[in-house]
Homo-oligomer: A and B are copies of this chain.
Amino acid sequence: MSFMEKLKEKIRSEGRVIGTGILKVDSFLNQQIDPQFTLEMGRELASRFTGEKITKVLTVEASGIAVATAAGLALGVPVVFAKKGRASTQDAGAYSARVYSFTRREAVDIFVSGRFLGPEDAVLIVDDFLAHGEALRGLVEIVRQAGSRLAGAGIVIEKVFQGGREKLKGQGLRIESLAAIKHMTDGHIEFL
């Protein structure tokens, strides 16, 4: 079985669909982490971007950190994670963006210190989910502020029906996802 098939199988057997939009995969991604499987996810995401001369992997706390670290390990580059929070606790000169969380129904500011991204960097964004595209849009904004080259985005699970990819279409952003869900209901997950 290919790694992608293994991932889909895991999502089918361990994922729980809540309502129409939420997929809980907390048994291996969002609360419990399978370290060996995470390494494989990171390796697979990294392999999609070989030749891009990536210098940094960028993600946002918290669920993206493990898989981003695995991708950084595979690429041999540092990982930077954006922090969520209030401006007051951040460095002056930080890059920031406001993103809306549909799950939490609130806007949150995300920050990256100006010391960790710059015009010399080629950045791969990595995240666990692509849903409405809010987190990804915010991370893209931060890469633009830093003046870095954006190599693309590597996503573990894309919920295609929530339109994140569509929303970011105008940005010329290459998005690679390991598992793309076309449709889901309780008990049935249909991949693209």
What is the CA–CA distance of A61 and B78 in the complex, to the nearest angstrom?
Answer: 19
Report A79 CB to chain B, min CB distance, Å.
Answer: 4
Report A108 CB to chain B, min CB distance, Å.
Answer: 12
Main secondary structure on A side of the interface with B? mixed
- Nearest chain B residue, comparing its CB with the CB of A28: B78
Report A116 CB to chain B, min CB distance, Å.
Answer: 5
7 pairs of A and B residues whose beta carbons are closest in the complex:
A61-B62, A35-B73, A62-B62, A35-B72, A33-B79, A65-B65, A66-B69
Which of A35, A76, A89 has the most C-beta atoms of chain B within 10 angstroms of its own C-beta? Answer: A35
What is the CA–CA distance of A76 and B80 in the complex, to the nearest angstrom?
Answer: 25
B31 touching A78 by the CB < 8 A rule?
no
Q: Number of A interface residues at 8 Å Cβ cutoff, please give it.
A: 34
User: Does A81 sit at the interface, judged by CB under 8 A?
Assistant: yes
- Nearest chain B residue, comparing its CB with the CB of A39: B73
The answer to whether A116 and B80 touch (CB under 8 A), given A69-B38, A104-B89, is: no
What is the CA–CA distance of A110 and B138 in the complex, to the nearest angstrom?
Answer: 26
Report A44 CB to chain B, min CB distance, Å.
Answer: 16
Residues of B within 8 A of A78 (CB): 28, 32-35
B35 touching A69 by the CB < 8 A rule?
yes
The answer to whether A116 and B81 touch (CB under 8 A), given A61-B61, A66-B66, A69-B38, is: no
